Structure 1
Amino acid sequence: MGRNRRKKKAIIRDLASQRIERLFKLAELEHASNPQRSNRYVSLARKIGMRHRVSIPSHLRRRVCRCCDTFLVPGSSSRIRLRRNYILITCLNCGRHMRFPYDLKLEDS
């Protein structure tokens, strides 16, 4: 693969990550008035990420149900519970549970 092609791929991946960020911002703004549109924005962002092999940042990955592509907003489309060693996020659309670990020792200091 030549230098030009590698450079072009890097540019495309950078553009894809910018589009993913923008789609998540639009989904957040649109969720109150039109939840279906925000879910569509999230599914488009995931498709862009898969097509160009760009991972969705971890702070945004927690806002998506991987089962049904729903944009998760606490209290509206998801329920968040704190357990002993993890955060439990439940999608209210499909019922999927997602667990994210956290360390209590770091929280106390």
Structure 2
Amino acid sequence: MYSEPQSAFDRRDEIKTLLLHHLRQQTSAHWLTVLEKEDIWCANVLDWEQLIASEGFKALEMVQRLTLHSGKTLLTTRCPIRIDGEIFVSPVGAPPLGADNPV
């Protein structure tokens, strides 16, 4: 049906609609089980509340507190990269726009 790559690309909206209707017939848990049995790497998609409540997110220590130039503080996510097992955080937020421009 879609032997030519361009044909599949041209009909991508139709293909996505077919997949949508098919995938909605079962739960995410069902599809995860099917994919995992085939050794296909997959994971449930979480919303923000589910993500921050998850043990994995907590274990990664992904949240850091920043102090902005104005003195206000905020919580944000950090860079996920670790080097030699060390996480990198900075308590300092980005400079305000134009902070380094000569006057």
Give the TM-score band, short-chain normalised: under 0.3
Work out which structure has the larger RCO, using CA pairs closer than 8 Å and 6 or more positions apart in sequence: 1
TM-score, normalising length: structure 2: 0.27
Larger radius of gyration: 2
TM-score, normalising length: structure 1: 0.26
